[in-house]
Amino acid sequence: MQFFPFRTIGAKRPFHITYDQINSAMKRASKRSKSAIEGRKYAVMDPRTGKTFSPKELLRLIIGDRSFYGGRGLSGANSVFRAFGFPVGNRVDLERQRRELVKRKGKVLPTEILLKRLFSQTWEQLPSEAELRRISDGGFPGVYLLAYTGESLLGSRVKEKDVFYVGMTCEGGLSKRLQQFRKGITHGGFHSAAERFKRVWLRGKPYRPHGKTRFYLAYLPVKCEKAKEWRSPDDIYRMSKVPELERAAIARVKSRLHHEPLLNKK
């Protein structure tokens, strides 16, 4: 059985704390009065039921009346619960986050449907870094397509012949990854494809957004929870669709053009 090694103050050996022990402690704590189980600064939540508890009180139910550090850090009480995916934080904030998660629940879509949706998007001119911070659903993982052409693609539907690059992001979110690309084609670095584009296509010069040849963007967010303490098995499955979708998009381009998008290297 998997365990987390939790060290109390002055102990030579750590306690091997398991998920089952935490689950059992939560059940026992639920039978106590509300004031006895709520923490002052931190609360740990059972995401299945929405109940919150004091991290310190739960630990005492598991290891007894021993001295240990509270709060954050490797030896802090919160680290035990976070390791097993239990959310820790302000009680009110935790309850709000859980309500938002319930609203987002839905079925996991097949890659084929996601691919169809991606290629049903319309092109927009690649926004500035400041504008990319505010793009719709930019905090989610997803796949993005870039076109680089002298033709005006603004508002037109994505076609395979125009796809110059296919990219993806999981942990960081689309907004952050696209900002890195936008910064890279101007200053260099930050994004390997952007660095390659600046070196090969622009010969080291910065990208000019108002030049004759411009970048256009289309993207599809895959809405899921990224944080370990909140994500469900379905959320993890949705995240696994992102690299699948990226490869499927590259394959679709190659099936029509007989070559992969030129800026894609791997």
Domain assignment of residue 74, yes or no: yes
Residues 123 and 253 in one domain: yes
Residues 98 and 146 in one domain: no
Q: Is the pLDDT of residue 47 over 90?
A: no
Tokens representing 1 are: 């059985």
Domain that holds residue 242: 106-257
Residue that is last in its domain, among 103, 130, 156: 103
For 125, phi then psi, to 5°, come to -65, 140
**What's the rounded mean pLDDT across residues 44-64?**
89
Residues 121 and 222 in one domain: yes
pLDDT digits (tens, 9 = 90+) for 219-265: 999 998 888 888 888 899 999 999 999 999 999 999 999 999 999 99
Residues 93 and 110 in one domain: no
Residue type, 16: H
Residues 93 and 113 in one domain: no
Domain assignment of residue 265, yes or no: no
pLDDT score recorded for residue 105: 65
- d(CA 147, CA 197) in angstroms, rounded, equals 12
Domain assignment of residue 262, yes or no: no
Residue that is last in its domain, among 70, 103, 136: 103
pLDDT digits (tens, 9 = 90+) for 134-158: 999 999 999 999 999 999 999 999 9
Question: How does the average pLDDT of the chain come out, rounded?
Answer: 90
Domain assignment of residue 186, yes or no: yes
Residues 83 and 118 in one domain: no
Residues 89 and 124 in one domain: no
36 CB contacts (<8 Å, ≥6 apart)?
29, 57
pLDDT score recorded for residue 104: 62
264 near 144, Cβ under 8 Å? no
Confidence of residue 103 (pLDDT cuts 50, 70, 90): low
Confidence of residue 97 (pLDDT cuts 50, 70, 90): confident
The dihedral sign for the CA sequence 16, 22, 25, 29: positive
Residues 77 and 110 in one domain: no
Which one, of 5, 1, 2, lies nearest residue 75 by Cα? Answer: 5
Domain assignment of residue 27, yes or no: yes
pLDDT score recorded for residue 245: 98
Q: How far is CA 128 from CA 9, 59, 104, 216, 221, in A?
A: 51, 49, 29, 12, 19
Domain assignment of residue 266, yes or no: no
pLDDT digits (tens, 9 = 90+) for 18-27: 999 999 999 9
Residue that is last in its domain, among 103, 138, 155: 103
Residues 221 and 170 in one domain: yes
pLDDT score recorded for residue 90: 87
- d(CA 41, CA 199) in angstroms, rounded, equals 51
| More confident site: 252 or 12 | 252
Residues 68 and 170 in one domain: no
Confidence of residue 32 (pLDDT cuts 50, 70, 90): confident
User: Domain count of the chain?
Assistant: 2
Domain assignment of residue 130, yes or no: yes
CA atoms within 13 A on the CB side of 96: 5
- d(CA 192, CA 181) in angstroms, rounded, equals 8
| Least confident piece of the model among 47-51, 102-106, 180-184 | 102-106
Domain assignment of residue 168, yes or no: yes
Residues 153 and 175 in one domain: yes
DSSP H helical segments within 129-173, as ranges? 129-132
Residues 192 and 110 in one domain: yes
Q: How many CB atoms lie within 10 A of CB 14?
A: 13
**Would you list the DSSP string of 72-120?**
SSTTBHHHHHHHTT--EE-HHHHHHHHHHHHHH--PPPPHHHHHHHHTT
Q: Is the pLDDT of residue 76 over 80?
A: no
